[in-house]
Amino acid sequence: EAGVTQFPSHSVIEKGQTVTLRCDPISGHDNLYWYRRVMGKEIKFLLHFVKESKQDESGMPNNRFLAERTGGTYSTLKVQPAELEDSGVYFCASSQAEPGETQYFGPGTRLLVL
């Protein structure tokens, strides 16, 4: 069974540009989560999808961040326009139907905004 995959693995962009991160969850997992680790600090929750619906987006830092989950399958996280403080590692995780189930994480996308 394939794990959670994320693309790209690394992205270097300039301030003001747009970047789109993609996450493919484990097949059949209804729950999809985005997290972020900035500057070696704690990993922080961004948002949670159940199928195609946003269940909780309380962790989204501001309206420069837009997340979608087309058809309840893969998800994208767009940052537009990117700022320096957006640099960090963006993790995606998925879990089966019950929210309390173990979350399986992808390898992360390392974003650097210059």
Partner 1 sequence: GDSVTQMEGPVTLSEEAFLTINCTYTATGYPSLFWYVQYPGEGLQLLLKATKADDKGSNKGFEATYRKETTSFHLEKGSVQVSDSAVYFCALLRWGGKLIFGQGTELSVKP
Closest distance to partner 1 from the beta carbon of 31 (Å): 6
CA distance 51 to 29: 8
Contact present, 105 and 91 (Cβ < 8 Å): yes
Site for partner 1 in 21-60 (CB under 8 A): 31, 33, 35, 37, 40-45, 48, 55-56, 59
- CA–chain centroid gap for 95, Å, is 14
CA distance 102 to 84: 32
Q: Which of 86, 108 has the CB closer to partner 1?
A: 108
In the complex, the residues that contact partner 1 under the rule CB under 8 A are 3-4, 6, 31, 33, 35, 37, 40-45, 48, 55-56, 59, 91, 93, 95, 99-100, 102-108
